[in-house]
């Protein structure tokens, strides 16, 4: 069995992630254009024909921008909860209605060889979810937009072998930056985004030998840098006496280009 993960784009200007086995693949979110998705998949040697569906976490445009073209031209089935569909669909958008698939929350469904479970997270879009995906003996959790780690999300995040988690902003850069007060408050709130210190402290709490890959995702373009993310994480881990083992990898996901493929099962 093969199991590969690749982030095609990650950040407030667009999110799209690929997960594939030897036969098929799925996308998680479609926040970049369908053209870019096609181009990026090609660059990692994945054919669009192998993609069996796209999972959608919430209605923000940095997660849904490519959905119209993917469903209308590509006939790609799109999966999310009824409540999120209600918040996405309106008479103006041209998402192909026959590509809509409604999924349950906290209940497994099967797609392309993956067992997938949606779980609720706290974010300022209606009924936002993360995904916990099982393939073989590996577990992948994706939680990219969340203001804090709520009790419903924590067990799914703690169980991951590969974790894609947001580290959106550097606390000092946000506070001292140019955003208006209301926006700073929104981002920092329990329904906004996770800051570097929050993510690092949570990771220090849950790190264990089964967590082999940590991908830090959805970095703000204005209030964060990859260096700040790593600096905060390393400082937090060193203060807590945490030393990673040889198998454990930490990656920062690129904003506008695919990251190196993570091969969970060769
Ligand atoms: Zn987002
Ligand atoms: Zn969002």
pLDDT digit string (tens) for 15-29?
Answer: 999 999 999 999 999
Ligand nearest to the CA of 31: 1
Ligand nearest to the CA of 122: 2
Residue 67 has pLDDT above 90, yes or no: yes
**Dist. CA 81 → ligand 1 center (Å):** 17
Packing angle between helix 196-206 and helix 226-239, nearest 10 degrees?
A: 40
Domains and CATH numbers, the chain: 3-265 (3.60.15.10)
How much of the chain exceeds pLDDT 90, in percent? Answer: 98
**Dist. CA 125 → ligand 1 center (Å):** 10
Structure confidence at residue 266 (pLDDT): 86
**Dist. CA 57 → ligand 1 center (Å):** 9
**Dist. CA 232 → ligand 1 center (Å):** 21
Ligand nearest to the CA of 187: 2
Structure confidence at residue 80 (pLDDT): 98
Ligand nearest to the CA of 10: 1
**Dist. CA 125 → ligand 2 center (Å):** 6
Alpha-carbon Rg of the chain, whole angstroms? 17
Q: What is the pLDDT of residues 189-228, one digit of tens each?
A: 999 999 999 999 999 999 999 999 999 999 999 999 999 9
**Dist. CA 246 → ligand 2 center (Å):** 34
**Dist. CA 105 → ligand 2 center (Å):** 18
- Strand pairing report for 78-80 and 100-102: parallel
Contact 25, 112 (CB under 8 A): yes
Give ∠ CA 261-139-226 in degrees, rounded to 5.
Answer: 45
Average model confidence (pLDDT) across the chain: 97
Structure confidence at residue 155 (pLDDT): 97
CA distances from 256 to 33, 35, 40, 57, 253 (A): 12, 13, 10, 19, 9
Structure confidence at residue 163 (pLDDT): 98
Residue 230 has pLDDT above 90, yes or no: yes
With H, G, I as helix, E, B as strand and everything else as coil, classify residue 198: helix
């Amino acid at each position: 069995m093969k199991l590969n993960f690749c982030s095609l784009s990650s950040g407030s200007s667009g999110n799209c992630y690929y997960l594939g086995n030897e036969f098929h693949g799925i996308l998680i979110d479609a926040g970049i254009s369908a053209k870019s998705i096609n181009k990026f998949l090609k660059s990692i040697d994945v054919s669009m024909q192998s993609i069996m569906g796209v999972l959608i976490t919430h209605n923000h445009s940095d997660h849904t921008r490519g959905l119209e073209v993917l469903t209308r031209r590509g006939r790609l089935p799109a999966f999310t909860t009824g409540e999120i569909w209600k918040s996405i669909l309106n008479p103006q958008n041209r998402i192909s209605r026959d590509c809509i698939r409604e999924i349950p929350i906290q209940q497994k469904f099967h797609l392309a060889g993956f067992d997938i479970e949606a779980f609720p997270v706290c974010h300022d879009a209606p009924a936002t979810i993360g995904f916990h995906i099982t393939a073989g003996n590996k577990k992948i959790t994706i939680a990219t937009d969340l203001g804090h780690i709520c009790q419903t999300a924590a067990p799914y995040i703690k169980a991951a072998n590969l974790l894609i988690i947001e580290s959106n902003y550097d606390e000092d850069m946000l506070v001292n930056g140019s955003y208006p007060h209301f926006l700073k408050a929104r981002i920092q709130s329990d329904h906004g985004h996770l800051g570097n210190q929050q993510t690092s402290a949570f990771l220090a709490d849950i790190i264990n030998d089964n967590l082999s890959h940590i991908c830090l995702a959805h970095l703000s373009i204005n209030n964060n840098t990859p260096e700040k993310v790593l600096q905060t994480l390393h400082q937090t881990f060193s203060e807590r006496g945490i030393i990673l083992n040889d198998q454990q990898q930490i990656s920062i996901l690129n904003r506008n280009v695919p990251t190196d493929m993570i091969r969970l099962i060769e």
